[in-house]
């Protein structure tokens, strides 16, 4: 199925310690159904994570023109940060699982990233992965793959994410592009309260909901919730 609407190419970024493999698992199918091409660049190494991704978005906008930007967790933060800086080059936002507004403060995702960085730096990735034994099997498998792919840069990348401010609600309020905000209502690390605040602040923001249980069974459930919210946002003015 192709889209009857004009939507630019989508550039989507992964969360902290994650990778483009997970981004594609979540978003490739829902975007393909609309005929929207997906660009999912791999994570820059270590401390270059944030600035490297922002530079990548700049370069892709130079190449493709207007972009639909977004991502998952910290990737959503970076995409929104870029969109706030480049509203004329942003055709929309797909933000799944935003974790905080403004400075991280005591946000659960920031605390988890910081603690994991310390564990990786002090004891290695195997010790950090051992701490995920109580997590669902699908999540442990994702972390095992992605964390090992980050290699020696994992701890530095986690620290970059843990300390970087997300756009403030005031900054989001000035971003008048259609925006789909996806949340898992049973996710304590990425609270639905934060996603709801993002959706309420954005002038054309719409919230889409799913659950971690659904995500475990079907990665595209999060992508569908976010993309469907974006399609609803397209109809708002």
Q: How far, in Å, are 27, 85, 95, 161, 167 from residue 208 at the CA level? A: 14, 25, 10, 24, 20
Residues of the chain with pLDDT under 70: 1-6
Domain 10-103+166-234 coded CATH 3.40.50.1820: yes
8, two tokens = 């630019």
Closest residue by Cα to residue 155 from 22, 54, 20, 47? 47
Q: What is the pLDDT of residue 37?
A: 94
Q: What is the pLDDT of residue 236?
A: 79
Closest residue by Cα to residue 178 from 230, 222, 227? 230
| Distance of alpha carbon 92 from alpha carbon 204, whole angstroms | 10
Q: How far, in Å, are 2, 16, 78, 199 from residue 73 at the CA level? A: 28, 7, 9, 15
> What are all long-range contacts of 56-61, with beta carbons under 8 Å and residues at least 24 apart?
56/11, 57/11, 57/82, 57/86, 58/82, 58/86, 60/9, 60/11, 61/86, 61/89
How many CB atoms lie under 10 A from the CB of residue 119? Answer: 18
Domain ranges of the chain: 10-103+166-234
* DSSP single-letter state for residue 186: T
Q: What is the pLDDT of residue 188?
A: 95
């Amino acid at each position: 199925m192709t889209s009857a609407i004009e939507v630019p190419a989508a550039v989507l970024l992964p969360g902290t310690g994650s990778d483009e493999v997970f981004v594609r698992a979540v978003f490739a199918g829902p975007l393909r159904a609309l005929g929207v091409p997906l660009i999912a660049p791999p994570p820059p190494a270590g401390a270059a994570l944030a600035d490297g991704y922002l530079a990548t978005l700049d370069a892709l906008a130079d190449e493709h023109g207007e972009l639909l930007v977004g991502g998952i967790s910290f990737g959503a933060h970076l995409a929104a940060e870029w969109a706030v800086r480049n509203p004329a080059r942003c055709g929309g936002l797909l933000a799944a699982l935003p974790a905080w507004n403004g400075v991280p403060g005591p946000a659960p995702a920031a605390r988890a990233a910081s603690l994991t960085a310390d564990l990786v730096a002090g004891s290695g990735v195997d010790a950090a992965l051992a701490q995920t034994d109580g997590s669902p099997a699908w999540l442990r498998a994702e972390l095992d793959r992605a964390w090992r792919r980050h290699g020696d840069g994992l701890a530095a990348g986690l620290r970059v994410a843990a300390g970087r401010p997300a756009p403030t609600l005031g900054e989001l309020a000035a971003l008048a592009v259609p925006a789909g905000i996806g949340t898992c209502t049973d996710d304590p690390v990425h609270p639905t309260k934060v996603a709801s605040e993002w959706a309420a602040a954005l002038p054309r923001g719409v919230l889409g909901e799913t659950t971690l249980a659904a995500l475990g069974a079907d990665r595209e459930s999060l992508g569908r919730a976010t993309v469907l919210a974006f399609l609803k946002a397209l109809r708002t003015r």
